[in-house]
């Protein structure tokens, strides 16, 4: 029995669709005195938690910028779009560009999304200002108007291994080639990217990498026992673990149960051990874990340059007011990136891609001048450099992530080096 769609139905559907398209999203009308940029973040789906925090960071800094006169003499405002997957990222980028007439797009935070979003922006010759994704290939596609304010995965690996070699190894009384390091990681693009870079760098500096990298899918991991059992046999000194969010407390709890002893655990980034959820989950039991992040409590404002002190303090106060806590990694990456955008726009006084680019390339500010104590110097490919995007090692102490390294930036010092027995880290 052949079924057919009647013409009526077809017409109805097409008309309905057209209406939807025409009314979807307001046609962008910038109020006079307002400068609009596009913000893409995943606000639904598995990345929603972090995406929301990035947006918060953007909003707080936007308000700070507007208190200081906005950008190019106008008030900065956002058009926000939810981008849970790559198709949406490309699609929404298109929408913001063509319907909302934005000339600058920022956001995405995740390596899954930044590739597609920036491709879409590039095809329209719109400036793409990435604040957080770490895919190392992001800047290697030959796209001229694509910039990234945060270091990429190789930078994370760089800092972590640096910390281990310069700060931890001496305190363990171990030379680098005597130090055994094991790697565990969640298996998304973030985990893979950072971990592989760290492994490469570890081998470069001569650390003893024991065992293959233990990867797992953070969405389906139920039990870390096989990993812990394997690692116990390998007996590493340092465990390098890149976690997402639910896996960090799981590993830590089970490692404690099974009495897996090691001298230090190092992570990088605002998720997992670097997120507030770990502290809430573990309390004091989480003491001792290191996470590479933006500055946390204990950070000495005085260690920054005067401009940097002012804006960093205002930023922290604003986040405190809005969320009741010290800025989280997500806030800092987004906020820091947006502030840097303002610095560029102040210099360029234009969103014309050519003028923007020369302003970006012309910037050369030392560490300590901006939010998070960052400096700025972009490479030809639009990547802010490792040396200027100062990162810090934080440690969980008494339920809080505090800044412990580099020591000139903070009043706190790292404790529990090496980590003693599980019940003795108070």
Partner 1 sequence: MVRAVGRHRGALLVFGVAALVPVFVRDAYFLDSLVLILLWGALSAAWNVAGGYAGQVSIGHAAFFGIGAYSAALMGTRFHQSPWLGMLVGVALSLVAGAAIGYLSNRLRGPYFALSTIAFSQVLLIVASRWRAFTSGSEGIPVPFRPGFATLGLSHVAWVYMALAVAVLYWAIQVWLEHSRFGYRLAGVREDEDAAQALGIPARRLKVIAVTASAALTSVCGTLWAQYVGFVDPFYVFSVDLSVRFALNAIIGGMGTALGPFLGSILITSLETYLRATLSGVKSGFTGIYLIVYGVVLILVVRFFPDGLAGLADRLRARRARAQA
Partner 2 sequence: MDPARPLGPAQIDVFAQLGVSTVLLGGIYALIAVGLTLIFGIMRVVNFAHGEFLMLGMYLAFWAFTLLSLDPWFVLFVSIPLFFGIGVVTYLLVMKGVIHASHNVQIFTTVGLSTALQNLALVLWSGDFHTVRPWHAATPIRLAGTAFNLSQVVAFLIAIGLTVLLVLFMRWTHTGRVMRATAQDRDAAILMGIDTDRVYRLTFAIGIAAVGAAGVLVSPLYAVYPTAGLQFVLLSYVVVVLGGLGNMMGALIGSLIVAAVEVAGSYYFGTAWKEIFYFVLFIAVLVFRPAGLFGQRGAENLGV
Q: Which residues bind partner 2 (CB under 8 A)?
A: 44-46, 48-49, 51-52, 187, 211-212, 214-217, 219-227, 229-230, 233-234, 245-246, 249-250, 253, 256-259, 275, 277, 280-281, 283, 285
Q: How far is the CB of 45 from partner 2 (least distance, A)?
A: 8
Residue 196 in contact with partner 1, rule: CB under 8 A: yes
Residue 31 in contact with partner 1, rule: CB under 8 A: no
Q: How far is the CB of 82 from partner 1 (least distance, A)?
A: 4
CA 416 distance to own-chain centroid: 27
Of partner 2, partner 1, none, which one does residue 120 interact with (CB within 5 to 8 Å by kind)?
A: partner 1
Cα-only R_g, the chain: 23
Whole-number Å distance between alpha carbons of 182 and 157: 14
Whole-number Å distance between alpha carbons of 253 and 263: 16
Of partner 1, partner 2, none, which one does residue 259 interact with (CB within 5 to 8 Å by kind)?
A: partner 2
Q: How far is the CB of 298 from partner 1 (least distance, A)?
A: 30
Residue 405 tokens read as: 């390294």
Q: How far is the CB of 67 from partner 1 (least distance, A)?
A: 21
Strands (E) located in 326-391:
none
Residue 98 in contact with partner 1, rule: CB under 8 A: yes
Question: In whole angstroms, how far apart are CA 189 and each of 221, 239, 249?
Answer: 16, 20, 21
Residue 119 in contact with partner 1, rule: CB under 8 A: yes
Q: For residue 394, give the nearest of 382, 410, 379, 380 by alpha carbon.
A: 410
Whether 289 and 296 have beta carbons less than 8 Å apart is answered as no
Q: For residue 160, give the nearest of 288, 333, 290 by alpha carbon.
A: 290
Q: How far is the CB of 111 from partner 2 (least distance, A)?
A: 18
Of partner 1, partner 2, none, which one does residue 167 interact with (CB within 5 to 8 Å by kind)?
A: none
Residues 6+ apart with CB under 8 A from 34: 74, 75, 76, 77
Residue 404 in contact with partner 1, rule: CB under 8 A: no
Whole-number Å distance between alpha carbons of 69 and 134: 31
Of partner 1, partner 2, none, which one does residue 82 interact with (CB within 5 to 8 Å by kind)?
A: partner 1
Of partner 2, partner 1, none, which one does residue 196 interact with (CB within 5 to 8 Å by kind)?
A: partner 1
Whether 76 and 65 have beta carbons less than 8 Å apart is answered as yes
Closer to partner 1 by Cβ: residue 123 or 310: 123
Q: How far is the CB of 12 from partner 2 (least distance, A)?
A: 22
Q: Please, which residues bridge with residue 32 across strands?
A: none
Q: For residue 201, give the nearest of 153, 169, 241 by alpha carbon.
A: 153
Binders of partner 1: how many residues, by CB under 8 A?
A: 64
Residue 95 in contact with partner 1, rule: CB under 8 A: yes
Residue 13 in contact with partner 1, rule: CB under 8 A: yes
What is the H or E stretch that residue 283 is in?
none
Whole-number Å distance between alpha carbons of 132 and 92: 18
Whole-number Å distance between alpha carbons of 103 and 353: 9
Residue 389 tokens read as: 């995007």
Residue 413 tokens read as: 């010092």
- Residues 153-192 within binding reach of partner 1 (CB under 8 A): 187-189, 191-192
Among 72, 75, 77, 86, binds partner 1 (CB under 8 A): 86
Q: How far is the CB of 229 from partner 2 (least distance, A)?
A: 5
Closer to partner 2 by Cβ: residue 286 or 308: 286
Collapse the DSSP code of 386 into the 3-class scheme (helix H, G, I; strand E, B; otherwise coil) and give the result. Answer: coil
**Interacting residues toward partner 1 by CB under 8 A:** 2-11, 13-14, 16-17, 20-21, 23-25, 43-44, 48, 52, 55-56, 79-82, 85-92, 94-95, 97-99, 111-112, 115-116, 119-120, 122-124, 135, 137, 141-142, 187-189, 191-193, 196, 215, 217
């Amino acid at each position: 029995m052949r079924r057919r769609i009647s013409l009526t139905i077809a017409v109805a559907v097409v008309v309905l669709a057209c209406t939807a398209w025409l009314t979807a999203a307001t046609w962008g009308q910038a109020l006079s005195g307002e400068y609009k940029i596009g913000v893409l973040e995943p606000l639904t789906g598995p990345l929603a938690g972090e995406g929301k925090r990035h947006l918060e960071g953007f909003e707080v800094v936007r308000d700070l910028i507007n208190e200081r006169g906005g950008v190019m003499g106008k008030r900065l405002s956002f058009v926000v779009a939810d981008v849970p997957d790559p198709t949406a990222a490309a699609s929404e980028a298109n929408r913001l560009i063509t319907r909302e007439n934005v000339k600058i797009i920022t956001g995405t935070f995740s390596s899954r999304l930044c590739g597609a979003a920036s491709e879409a922006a590039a095809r329209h010759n719109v400036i793409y200002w990435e604040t957080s994704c770490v895919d190392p290939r992001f800047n290697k596609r030959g796209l001229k108007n694509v910039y990234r304010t945060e270091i990429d995965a190789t930078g994370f690996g760089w800092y972590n291994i640096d910390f281990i070699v310069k700060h931890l190894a001496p305190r363990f009384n171990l030379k680098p080639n005597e130090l055994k390091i094991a790697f565990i990681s969640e298996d998304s693009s973030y985990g893979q990217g950072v971990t592989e870079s760290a492994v490469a760098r570890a081998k470069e500096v001569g650390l003893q990498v024991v065992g293959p990298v233990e990867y797992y899918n953070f969405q389906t991991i139920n039990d870390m026992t096989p990993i812990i059992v394997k690692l116990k046999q390998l007996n590493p000194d340092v465990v390098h673990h890149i976690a997402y969010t639910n896996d960090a407390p799981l590993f830590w709890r089970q490692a404690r149960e099974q009495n897996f002893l090691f001298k230090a655990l190092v992570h990088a980034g605002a998720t997992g051990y670097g997120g507030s959820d770990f502290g809430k989950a573990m309390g004091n039991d989480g003491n001792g874990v290191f996470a590479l992040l933006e500055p946390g409590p204990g950070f000495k404002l005085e260690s920054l340059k005067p401009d940097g002190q002012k804006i960093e303090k205002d930023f922290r106060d604003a986040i405190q007011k809005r969320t009741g806590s010290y800025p989280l990694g997500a806030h800092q990456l987004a906020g820091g990136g947006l502030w840097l955008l303002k610095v560029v726009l102040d210099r360029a006084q234009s969103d014309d891609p050519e003028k923007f680019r020369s302003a970006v390339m012309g910037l050369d500010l030392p560490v300590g001048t901006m939010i998070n104590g960052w400096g700025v110097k972009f490479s030809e490919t639009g990547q802010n450099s490792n040396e200027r995007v100062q990162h810090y090692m934080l440690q969980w102490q008494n339920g809080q992530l505090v800044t412990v390294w580099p020591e000139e930036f903070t009043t706190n010092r790292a404790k529990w080096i090496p980590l003693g027995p599980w019940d003795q880290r108070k």
